C-alpha cells in the first residue's frame, strides 16, 4: 500500500517536463530513470533533470527491474508498440494521448494489460483536474436543463520545423494532436458515444490535416462541434448549452491551480471559481491509486477506444465528404 513507485521516462520527449514536477511532488512516486535512443542523449537529459539513471535504449529501460511504471510520450505511431512491450515487460504504463492510431492497436494494448494484470491508462491530464470534475457535476445535476450542444476548440500555431505533428507516418495532424481534446471532452459530458460524425479538413502538403472542423451527433438530439488546427493562434474553449443555461469554460484542457468558468442563465452571468491542483499531478496520483489500491483508472480503455473510433470516423468523413455512422459497441 505504501510502496514508492519507481517511474521511467520512455524517451527525452518535450512533454516529459510536465511530468517531472508532479513525479517529484507526489509522495508515492520516484522518478528513477530516463531512456533515449542514444546513451549520450539519455545521460545529458538525466544530468539536466537530475534523474538518477540513464538508459541508452528503450529496451534497457524496460529491462530495469526496479522500474514499476513507464511514462510513454513517444510519437503517436509508437504508442501501441512500446506500451505493449512495456506491459509485457511487467510494467504499468501511462501512455500519452492519442492512445493509438487504430482500433486494432487499442485492442492489442487492452489485451496486453489484461493478460499481464498491469495498469494502463491514457494521459488525458485534464480529466483529473477539479475544474473538469466540477463541470461534469454541474451538467449531471441538471442545472443546464436538457443538453443541446457542446462547442469546443483547440488550436495553436505549429512553427517547429520537422515536428512529429507534421509527419503523416507518425500519426501527425491536428485532430490527433489537439482535436482529440474537444472530442474527448464532448464524449465525457454527454456520457455516450456519438452515433454519427461529419468532418472537413484542410490538408497539409504531407497529407496530414492542418485544421479540422468536426461535428458529432449523439442520440437524443445532442450535438457537438469543434475545430482543431495548427494554423491559428493559441485558442482553447468549451461551451456547453442546455435548455435552461449554458456553461463557458475558457481553459478546458489546461486549467491552472485556480480557474474560472461562467454559468449564463436568464440573461445573467455567474462566475464560478475553482481551486485545482497541479495539472499533471492528477494522472500520476490516479495511476498510483490504481496500482496500489486496486481502484479503476479514471480513464477506461473503453473510453480511450471510443475517442480513437470517433477520430477515425471523422477522418473517414473528411475523406469521403459525407457523414459517417459509428459502429455500435
Ligand atoms: N498531454 C499533454 O499535455 C501533451 C502535450 C504535448 C505532447 N503530448 C503527447 O506526447 C507525445 C510526445 O510529444 P512531444 O511534443 O513531447 O514530442 P517530442 O518532443 O518530439 O518527443 C518525442 C520523443 O520520441 C522519441 N522518438 C522515438 N522515435 C522517434 C522518431 N522516429 N522521431 C522522433 N522522435 C522519436 C525521441 O526521444 P529520444 O530521442 O530520447 O529517443 C523524442 O524526443 C505525443 O504523443 C503527443 O501527443 C501530450
At residue 328, the pLDDT reads 76
303/298 Cα distance (integer angstroms): 10
Q: Residues enclosing ligand 1, CB less than 6 A?
A: 11-15, 18, 36-37, 41, 73-76, 78, 96-97, 123, 125, 164, 177
Q: Specify whether the CB–CB gap between 93 and 72 falls below 8 A.
A: yes
Q: Which atom of ligand 1 is nearest to the CA of 42?
A: 40
- The 10s digit of each residue's pLDDT in 211-229 is 999 999 999 999 999 999 9
Answer whether residue 67 shows pLDDT above 80.
yes
Fold of 5-123: Rossmann fold (3.40.50)
291/93 Cα distance (integer angstroms): 10
Instruction: Read off the pLDDT of each residue in 8-19 and give the average, rounded to a whole number.
Output: 98
67 alpha carbon to ligand 1 midpoint, in Å?
Answer: 20
- The 10s digit of each residue's pLDDT in 20-62 is 999 999 999 999 999 999 999 999 999 999 999 999 999 999 9
Rg (CA), the chain: 20
Answer whether residue 324 shows pLDDT above 90.
yes
- The 10s digit of each residue's pLDDT in 105-138 is 999 999 999 999 999 999 999 999 999 999 999 9
At residue 3, the pLDDT reads 86
Terminal Cα distance for the chain, rounded: 36
Residue 181 pLDDT level (bands cut at 50, 70, 90):
very high
Q: Which atom of ligand 1 is nearest to the CA of 45?
A: 40
Q: Write the DSSP string, 167-209.
A: -GGGT-SHIIIIIHHHHHHHHHHHTS--SEEEEEEEE-TTSSE
At residue 122, the pLDDT reads 98
> Does pTM top 0.75 for this prediction?
yes
Answer whether residue 329 shows pLDDT above 70.
no
Q: Which atom of ligand 1 is nearest to the CA of 18?
A: 3
Q: Write the DSSP string, 236-288.
A: EEEEEEESS-EEEESSSSS--SEEEEEEEETTEEEEEEEE---TTHHHHHHHH
The residue contributing the CA closest to ligand 1 atom 37 is: 11
Fold of 127-281+308-325: Dihydrodipicolinate Reductase; domain 2 (3.30.360)
Return the number of other C-beta atoms located less than 10 Å from residue 91's C-beta.
Answer: 25
73 alpha carbon to ligand 1 midpoint, in Å?
Answer: 5
- The 10s digit of each residue's pLDDT in 274-313 is 999 899 999 999 999 999 999 999 999 999 999 999 999 9
The residue contributing the CA closest to ligand 1 atom 42 is: 13
pLDDT, averaged across the chain: 97
Instruction: Provide the 3-class DSSP secondary structure of residue 6.
Output: strand
154/121 Cα distance (integer angstroms): 22
Residue 1 pLDDT level (bands cut at 50, 70, 90):
low
Say what angle helices 301-320 and 103-116 make with each other, to 10 degrees. Answer: 170
Domain residue extents for the chain? 5-123, 127-281+308-325
Amino acid at each position: 500500500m505504501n510502496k514508492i513507485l519507481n517511474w521511467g521516462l520512455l524517451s527525452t520527449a518535450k512533454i516529459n517536463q510536465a511530468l517531472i514536477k508532479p513525479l517529484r511532488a507526489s509522495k508515492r512516486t520516484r522518478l528513477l530513470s530516463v531512456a533515449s535512443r542514444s546513451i549520450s542523449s539519455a545521460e545529458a537529459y538525466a544530468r539536466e533533470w537530475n534523474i538518477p539513471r540513464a538508459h541508452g535504449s528503450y529496451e534497457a529501460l524496460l529491462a530495469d527491474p526496479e522500474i514499476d511504471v513507464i511514462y510513454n510520450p513517444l510519437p503517436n505511431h509508437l504508442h501501441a508498440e512500446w506500451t505493449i512491450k512495456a506491459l509485457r515487460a511487467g510494467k504499468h504504463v501511462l501512455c500519452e494521448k492519442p492512445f493509438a492510431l487504430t482500433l486494432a492497436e487499442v485492442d492489442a494494448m487492452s489485451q496486453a494489460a489484461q493478460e499481464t494484470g498491469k495498469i494502463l491508462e491514457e494521459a488525458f491530464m485534464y480529466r483529473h483536474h477539479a475544474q473538469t470534475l466540477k463541470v461534469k457535476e454541474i451538467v449531471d445535476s441538471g442545472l443546464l436543463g436538457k443538453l443541446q450542444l457542446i462547442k469546443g476548440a483547440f488550436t495553436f500555431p505549429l512553427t517547429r520545423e520537422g515536428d512529429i505533428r507534421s509527419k503523416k507516418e507518425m500519426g501527425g495532424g491536428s485532430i490527433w494532436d489537439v482535436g482529440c481534446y474537444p472530442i474527448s471532452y464532448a464524449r465525457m459530458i454527454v456520457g455516450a458515444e456519438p452515433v454519427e460524425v461529419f468532418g472537413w479538413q484542410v490538408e497539409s502538403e504531407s497529407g496530414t490535416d492542418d485544421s479540422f472542423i468536426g461535428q458529432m451527433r449523439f442520440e437524443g438530439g445532442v450535438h457537438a462541434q469543434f475545430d482543431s488546427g495548427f494554423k491559428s493562434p493559441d485558442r482553447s474553449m468549451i461551451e456547453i448549452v442546455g435548455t435552461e443555461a449554458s456553461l463557458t469554460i475558457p481553459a478546458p484542457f489546461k486549467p491552472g491551480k485556480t480557474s474560472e468558468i461562467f454559468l449564463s442563465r436568464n440573461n445573467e452571468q455567474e462566475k464560478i471559481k475553482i481551486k485545482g491542483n497541479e495539472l499533471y499531478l492528477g494522472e500520476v496520483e490516479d495511476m498510483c491509486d490504481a496500482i496500489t489500491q486496486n481502484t479503476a483508472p479514471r480513464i477506461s480503455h473503453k473510453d480511450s477506444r471510443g475517442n480513437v473510433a470517433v477520430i477515425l470516423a471523422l477522418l473517414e468523413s473528411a475523406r469521403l465528404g459525407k457523414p459517417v455512422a459509428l459502429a455500435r459497441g
